[in-house]
Amino acid sequence: MSKTGIGVPVIRKEAASKVTGEAKYTADFLEPGTLTAQLVTSTCAHGVIAGIDTSAAAGVPGVRAILTGESCPELCGAILKDRPPLARGKVRYYGEPVALVVAEDAFLAAKAASLIKVSYEPLPVVHGPGQALEPGAPLIHEGLGAYKRIVADVYPEPGTNVCHREKVRKGDVEKGFSECAVILEARFKLPQSDHIAMETRAATASISADGTVFIRTSSQAPFEVRKMLSELYQIDEGKIIVEVPMVGGGFGGKAPVNLEILAYLASRAAGGRPVRLVNTREADMVSSPCRMGLEATLKLGATEDGILKAAEMTFLIDAGGYADIGPRLAKAIAVGCTGPYHIENVSCDSLCVYTNHPYVTSFRGFGHASVTFCIERALDKLARKLRLDPARLRYKNALMPGQTSPTQVKITASNCGNLQACIERVKGLVNWEEGDRLDMGGGKIRAKGIAAFWKTSNSPPDAASGAFISFNKDGSVNLNVGCVEIGPMMKTTAAQILSEALKMDISRIHVNMDVNTRYTPYHWKTVASMTTYMIGRAVLRAAEDVTDQLKSMAAVVMKCAPEDLDIGDERVFLRSDPSVFKSFRDLVHGYHYENGNALYGQMLGRGGFIMTDLNFLDRETGKGKPGPYWTVGAQAVEVIYDTVAHTYRLTKAATVIDAGKVLNPAMAEGLVKGGMCMGLGLGSREHFQYDPAGRVLDTSLRTYKVMHFGQTPEYLVAFVETPFVEGPYGARGLAEHGIVGIPAALGNALSVACGAELDELPLLPEKIWMAKTGGRL
């Protein structure tokens, strides 16, 4: 028998297709007769649309439709309906879609798009969330109070630029600070950046004669696409089919519904013909949503021996021009505001603030890489004040079973793992005891920084998933699950879990690689590192369903009690004598007697799952349970810093995560390393810069730099395994987490190295030079 089950490095199911060019992504499907849609985007960050002249474009032969904001009066949004699919009346960020041209081919679409003339009357620009809150700041959404709320727990503040405010109040902060020997105050500023999935977002749409809408899209959330289109355009959900093939990376950027709406509108305007809309890299960076920026103020208090007593924090999310999932980012930051530490007295205000920057959405870590940077940098400063080893400070304050989270969830070993073990392990990996700053001579310093993190789902309390199982006549299994294959091998993980549950060879389990909302069971979204948990639970239930059926059927055929039977290796066998058995293949499509009689039909298994004990957070105190568990971990970065040029080399990056149970060691390591690589990019180079008029300057991969081959450090990864009791075989999600503490650990290492406090990202040499010298040569 080849590989079975969990804990082994199974090769991903779609591996061969991905090394031969056979794997198909959304833009790889091209039916003859497909039209091309092209966006025209705003060149102004905040302005009134004075006019759009489409006459020259309309004259280009082969142009089938031109849409502007006037053609689509609806507003869309997942939390708050504040965004027109095409700007109407005014534009709120540079890159905002203002018109859409539909033509016979890409060449003609591009030609026509270039002939569309849009004129703007510029309005004063809001450059950041701090400025957005100043008295008299220009209002970005004058009609904020009138927007329809999609969820009950979003609280926009009309007449301001506050889209949402999330509060945490725990204990008595004033009293807490009065008990502190040391108080630390700090401010942080983190820029917007972008996902840069290598596949830019793409969608195709067509509408058939009976009104059925077909969407193919590079989405992490096909069922959300169906829901939103249904709701926006009053189409029955059953008449919308959303199909997602392989997706070329998501990182949260493909979770919101975005191009699908435009592709649908384009097809509708072209009589239902298939239309393809593929983002250029520039549009993918600035027109489609990007990653949040953050401004934060923190005040932490501790006793003389380094016990954290009180925290007071304000987080201002630079959400850009529209809400999208921003209010949930504010919630996630509030929920996790203390980091994985016990603080009795907490007051936190987390605001989602409109600015005239590109609007933001989920990004790997869902705000946690940002909040972790703030809290972990603050802890290092505090450790210096206390003259305590920064690793020791974290170890001392690590959340322990019996204590509570900021939103007053009781911590257990199961729901929060073992942070102290992670801290100890990561110290070993980077040889922490040798000291965090070593002068190597010749103007070179070798320095290390550490950071710990935690993250929960912050999902809707009723997020759900499902799994179907059917059998082939040879006894092999077909597994059908609704997670999208965006890279982290979720489909194979689902197959691994099923292989373990049915004790059968994973090569005999076939799993659908695509998602089609008509025949795939519902799955909330492939986000939040929740897929292993949610799909895993659904798969286990489906496995139990077929196991019960197999046993009760075999019991009749074998004339015994079902409880005397067990399964394994595609057989149902007598527990007392495994040599007495029936093969799956003889059972799963009915049992056939020699005389021709048959019993039972084909065997079908199903498993449904829904989150059970989550709830909405209290509006005033934040009290409530935001997710089923936390994944905790500790990370470290080592650099060699040049004291003259303020440049540095990344030499080591280490992560220890409490995974609960590692289901696939090779993939787990790969995901964590990939996360670290991205985290090093965020920490060291990635950011959007804007000109004084609010226009984004970094709109190509020429100027927006990501990590490249040859720039990476040695990666060190280890896992702690404290089971999460409700997880499949004890597993916690870990796909996002490699990124979370890395910018913080890098900031800590470089602050130690250069001897100045580095509180802004990215850590470019010129920023370090500024912090160190104040700009004096």
DSSP state of 60: S
Q: How far is the CB of 639 from another protein (least distance, A)?
A: 17
| SS3 label, residue 4 | strand
Q: How far is the CB of 243 from ligand FES (least distance, A)?
A: 21
Q: How far is the CB of 521 from another protein (least distance, A)?
A: 23
DSSP state of 12: P
Binding mask 544-583 for ligand FES (x = CB under 6 A): ----------------------------------------
How many helices (H) and strands (E) would you count in the chain?
18, 32
Q: Which residues bind to another protein, rule: CB under 8 A?
A: 11, 14-25, 27-28, 30, 106-107, 195-200, 246-251, 278, 280-281, 486-489, 666-667, 670-671, 673-674, 676-678, 700-702, 706-712, 715
Q: Which does 674 bind (CB under 5 to 8 A by kind): another protein, ligand FES, none?
A: another protein
Binding mask 7-36 for ligand FES (x = CB under 6 A): ------------------------------
Q: Which of residues 121-140 bind ligand FES (CB under 6 A)?
A: none
Token match 């009066």: residue?
Answer: 73
Q: How far is the CB of 364 from another protein (least distance, A)?
A: 10
Closer by beta carbon to ligand FES, 1 or else 15 = 15
What pairs with residue 638 in β-bridges?
448, 652
Give the Cα separation of 451 and 29 in Å (integer). 44
Q: How far is the CB of 169 from ligand FES (least distance, A)?
A: 42
Q: Which does 137 bind (CB under 5 to 8 A by kind): another protein, ligand FES, none?
A: none
Based on the shown chain and the rule CB under 6 A, indicate whether residue 249 belongs to the binding site for ligand FES.
Answer: yes
Give the Cα separation of 740 and 379 in Å (integer). 16
Q: How far is the CB of 314 from another protein (least distance, A)?
A: 32
Give the Cα separation of 387 and 393 in Å (integer). 10
| SS3 label, residue 387 | coil
Q: Which does 710 bind (CB under 5 to 8 A by kind): ligand FES, another protein, none?
A: another protein
Nearest CA to 540 among 503, 480, 510, 498? 498
CA distances from 767 to 636, 761, 771 (A): 21, 8, 6
Closer by beta carbon to another protein, 521 or else 738 = 738
User: Which tokens go with 654?
Assistant: 């280490």
Q: How far is the CB of 199 from ligand FES (least distance, A)?
A: 8
Q: Is 363 left (phi over 0), alpha (psi -120 to 50) or beta?
A: beta
* Total interface residues for ligand FES by CB under 6 A: 3
Binding mask 186-225 for ligand FES (x = CB under 6 A): ------------x---------------------------
Q: Which does 31 bind (CB under 5 to 8 A by kind): another protein, ligand FES, none?
A: none
Give the Cα separation of 165 and 133 in Å (integer). 13
Closer by beta carbon to ligand FES, 336 or else 487 = 487
Q: How far is the CB of 23 from another protein (least distance, A)?
A: 5
Torsion of CA 26, 31, 32, 36, to 10 degrees: -30
b or e along 452-468 (b: 16 or more beta carbons within 10 Å of the residue's beta carbon)? Answer: bbbbbbbbebebbbbbb
Long-range contacts of residues 517-521, Cβ cutoff 8 Å, at least 24 apart: 517/222, 517/223, 517/225, 517/226, 517/240, 517/241, 517/242, 517/243, 518/241, 519/480, 520/480, 520/481, 520/482, 521/465, 521/466, 521/467, 521/468, 521/480, 521/481, 521/482, 521/606, 521/608
Closer by beta carbon to another protein, 24 or else 392 = 24
Do 266 and 225 meet the contact criterion of CB atoms below 8 Å apart?
A: no
Do 509 and 498 meet the contact criterion of CB atoms below 8 Å apart?
A: yes
Closer by beta carbon to another protein, 12 or else 582 = 12
Closer by beta carbon to another protein, 35 or else 123 = 35
Q: Which does 15 bind (CB under 5 to 8 A by kind): ligand FES, another protein, none?
A: another protein
Closer by beta carbon to another protein, 43 or else 280 = 280
Q: Which of residues 451-490 bind ligand FES (CB under 6 A)?
A: 487
Closer by beta carbon to ligand FES, 246 or else 371 = 246
Closer by beta carbon to ligand FES, 277 or else 771 = 277
Q: Which does 271 bind (CB under 5 to 8 A by kind): another protein, ligand FES, none?
A: none
Do 608 and 481 meet the contact criterion of CB atoms below 8 Å apart?
A: no
Q: Is 282 exposed, middle or buried (0-12, 13-18, 19+ CB in 10 A)?
A: middle
Q: Which does 247 bind (CB under 5 to 8 A by kind): ligand FES, another protein, none?
A: another protein
Nearest CA to 186 among 368, 374, 386, 343? 374
Q: How far is the CB of 614 from another protein (least distance, A)?
A: 29
Interacting residue ranges for ligand FES, rule: CB under 6 A: 198, 249, 487
